[in-house]
Amino acid sequence: MADPLQTTPCTAAPLAGQVAVVTGAGGGIGRASCLRLSQAGAAVLALDLDAASAQETARLLQTQGGQALALAADVCDPALGAQVLTQALAHFGRLDILINNAGRGSAMRPLWEIELDDWQRDLTLNLSSQFYLCKALVPHMVAAGYGRIVNVASAAGMEGHPLSGGYAAAKAGVIAMTKTLGKELATQGVIVNAIAPALIDSPMLHSEWFSAELKQQLLDRIPMRRAGQPEEVAEMVLFLASPAVSFSTGAVFDLSGGRATY
Ligand SMILES: NC(=O)c1ccc[n+]([C@@H]2O[C@H](COP(=O)([O-])OP(=O)(O)OC[C@H]3O[C@@H](n4cnc5c(N)ncnc54)[C@H](O)[C@@H]3O)[C@@H](O)[C@H]2O)c1
């Protein structure tokens, strides 16, 4: 088991020799995180529902001299975890880091008008998917005596999000799941944290989910008066995925330009 106190946090390649799986790897935060983890020395399994974007992420990493493998897969599949573990071990020989990032906003409507299917879809994609991968990969990390898990939540999970009740409820669930798992694994070398971004300038921000009015409303609530960049999120993902994080687990780290006051 790696002793976190024996590691050197500020090396140029703190993840050299390690392997990470990143879901939603073809999107804004996912791709930036893959790039940052790769620059830090990790081999990356870049997983996305969209095969072309996963491949493009893997290609970018390889162009920069990194090791990467694209995997086109749906995180809503409860059996995906076993496949991820098999692929990571077959191609890279190990798996140390899980970045549970894939997610998507829901149809904009008040809670009582949400269709049952949409509610279920929101919860499956934004919460259960992260549970499925934790369930499959944690035993491997525990056996290795080392692991880092970063679950991507949202400010919506901290504050609620009018007209996106399913999404907000799922992200609140991610936070509770992270706090629980972090406590359960606290003595086993496996560190689990969540990040809660507010408004990040990713493709999601330019999707139909974000009207110009909603974007402005959200910007108005950010003291820095701007959206965050995926690269800024990736920097925090790298820290939380690295041996440098050694005394924080089951915690939620905000990326909100000063909006979070809780
Ligand atoms: N952008 C923001 O303002 C913001 C704010 C808070 C939280 N987040 C969260 O950050 C995460 C990443 O979002 P982003 O902003 O990079 O969005 P994005 O739309 O750029 O990326 C999301 C990626 O997830 C992939 N994906 C969607 N469904 C999938 C599935 N079933 N299986 C596998 N992959 C799937 C998409 O193909 C896409 O590449 C999400 O969990 C999102 O909820 C984003």
Query: What mean pLDDT do residues 219-227 have?
Result: 95
**Catalytic residue (choose from 132, 146, 167, 262):** 167
Q: What are the CA-CA distances from residue 253 to residues 37, 160, 239 (Å)?
A: 18, 17, 11
Q: Residue 210 — very low, low, confident or very high, per pLDDT cuts 50/70/90?
A: confident
Give the least confident one: 175-189, 192-206, 229-243. 192-206
Residues 6 or more apart whose CB falls under 8 angstroms from that of 238 comprise 14, 15, 33, 36, 37, 40
Please state the rounded mean pLDDT for residues 168-177.
98
What is the per-residue pLDDT for 8? 46
Three-class HEC string of the chain:
CCCHHHCCCCCCCCCCCCEEEEECCCCHHHHHHHHHHHHCCCEEEEEECCHHHHHHHHHHHHHCCCCEEEEECCCCCCCHHHHHHHHHHHHHCCCCEEEECCCCCCCCECHHHCCHHHHHHHHHHHHHHHHHHHHHHHHHHHHHCCEEEEEECCHHHHHCCCCEHHHHHHHHHHHHHHHHHHHHCCCCCEEEEEEEECCECCHHHHCCCCCHHHHHHHHHCCCCCCCECHHHHHHHHHHHHCCCCCCCCCCEEEECCCCCCC
**CA-to-CA dists, residue 60 to 24, 66, 155, 215, angstroms:** 15, 9, 30, 30
User: pLDDT at residue 189 above 70?
Assistant: yes
Q: How far is the CA of 87 from the centre of ligand 1 (A)?
A: 22
Lowest-pLDDT range, 87-91, 100-104, 196-200, 208-212? 208-212
Ligand 1 pocket: which residues have CB below 6 Å? Answer: 23-24, 26-30, 48-50, 53, 74-76, 101-104, 125, 152, 154, 197, 199-200, 202-205
Mutate to test the pocket of ligand 1, among 21, 33, 48 (most ligand atoms within 8 A of CB): 48
CA of 204 to the centre of ligand 1 (A): 7
According to CATH, what is the number of the domain 15-254? 3.40.50.720
Whether 167 is a known active-site residue: answer yes
Q: What is the pLDDT of residues 35-58, one digit of tens each?
A: 999 999 999 999 999 999 999 999
Q: What is the largest CA-CA distance in the chain?
A: 54
* Of the candidate ranges 11-15, 27-31, 79-83, the one whose mean pLDDT is the lowest: 11-15
Supply 7's token pair: 């590691």
Residue ranges per structural domain of the chain = 15-254
Question: What pLDDT is recorded for position 6?
Answer: 54
- Mean predicted lDDT score pLDDT of the chain: 94
> What is the whole-number distance in angstroms between the Cα of residue 48 and the centre of ligand 1?
10
Predicted pLDDT at 3? 54
- 73: pLDDT strictly greater than 70: yes
pLDDT band, very low/low/confident/very high, at 191 (cuts 50, 70, 90): very high
Token digits for 60?
């970018």
Each residue of 118-143: pLDDT tens digit?
999 999 999 999 999 999 999 999 99
Residue 56: both structure tokens together? 């493009």
What share of the chain has pLDDT > 70, as a percent?
96
